[in-house]
Amino acid sequence: MILIDPEKCTGCGTCVPYCTVGAIEVEDGLAIVDPHRCTDCYVCIRNQVCPSKAMGPGPLETFYDVFRHVLSDPTETTADTGVPGRGTEEAKTNDVTGRFGKNEAGFAIDMGRPGVGVRMKDVETVAKAVIKAGLKLEDAAHSPLGKVLDITTGEMDPGIKDHYLLSIIIEGKCPLEKMRDVLKALREVEDKIDTVFSVGLILRTDENGYNPYLSVLEEFGIKPIRGKVNVGLGRPLVP
């Protein structure tokens, strides 16, 4: 949690709008940080927003404290995956890694965002739903979520359920025929959580950019709003 030095703080409120999750407010002439909402993203620290230099990072004493900070601060690199940001490359390098094959659908469920954040208990709720629907989650070597969650059941270490992060990605894949089930599970669980999520769908196409399972999105009333394309120069290992 970000610490405020009461001897230096003037209560000017300059820091308040910089907090990405609204964890800072001014009370009785002093800035106060909500310890249950601060994500340790360090936006206020990196931008040196306090004119009195009253703000500083608190100690990251436990594994969960470090996990929250690394996943919320895009300048940090996740040790296990070696990837900065939220610790996963998703499908961006699939033309090199070949993690998603032609008969598979990949999902990158992006939970929380700046301004909203996400409790890990809500991550568990969504993870359980999609695993039950047939999604196989990535292990800890590819996704930091695998460090705190059983990727076969979605069960999470109780010690982290109440931790609040800026954002985290649930990443996995399933056979194409299970794609509908996963999308249905996401539709059913969206009203059971207190945050937002967006869904990235990863599909391999033919040389004409076609995959028949793209039409499944229309069944759910989903219109794709952005596409990222790997052109295959890396010659994927997975057929």
- Number of structural domains, the chain? 2
Give the model confidence (pLDDT) of 51-79 as tens digits: 999 999 999 999 999 999 999 998 898 87
My answer on whether 146 and 47 are in the same domain is: no
Asked if residue 37 is part of any domain, the answer here is yes
Give strand ranges (E) for the chain.
2-4, 24-27, 30-33, 55-57, 104-111, 118-119, 136-137, 164-165, 168-175, 197-203
Asked if residue 69 is part of any domain, the answer here is no
Give the model confidence (pLDDT) of 89-119 as tens digits: 777 777 778 888 889 999 999 999 888 999 9
Asked if residue 81 is part of any domain, the answer here is no
Phi first, then psi, for residue 149 (nearest 5°) are: -140, 140
Asked if residue 90 is part of any domain, the answer here is no
pTM of the model: 0.90
Q: From CA 119, how far away is CA 146, in angstroms rounded?
A: 16
Asked if residue 80 is part of any domain, the answer here is no
Predicted confidence band at 193 (pLDDT cuts at 50, 70, 90)? very high
Q: From CA 131, how far away is CA 148, in angstroms rounded?
A: 15
Pairing outcome for strands 168-175 and 104-111: antiparallel
Domain carrying residue 27: 12-58
Q: What is the CATH number of the domain that holds 24?
A: 3.30.70.20
Residue in the block written with tokens 């040196």: 48
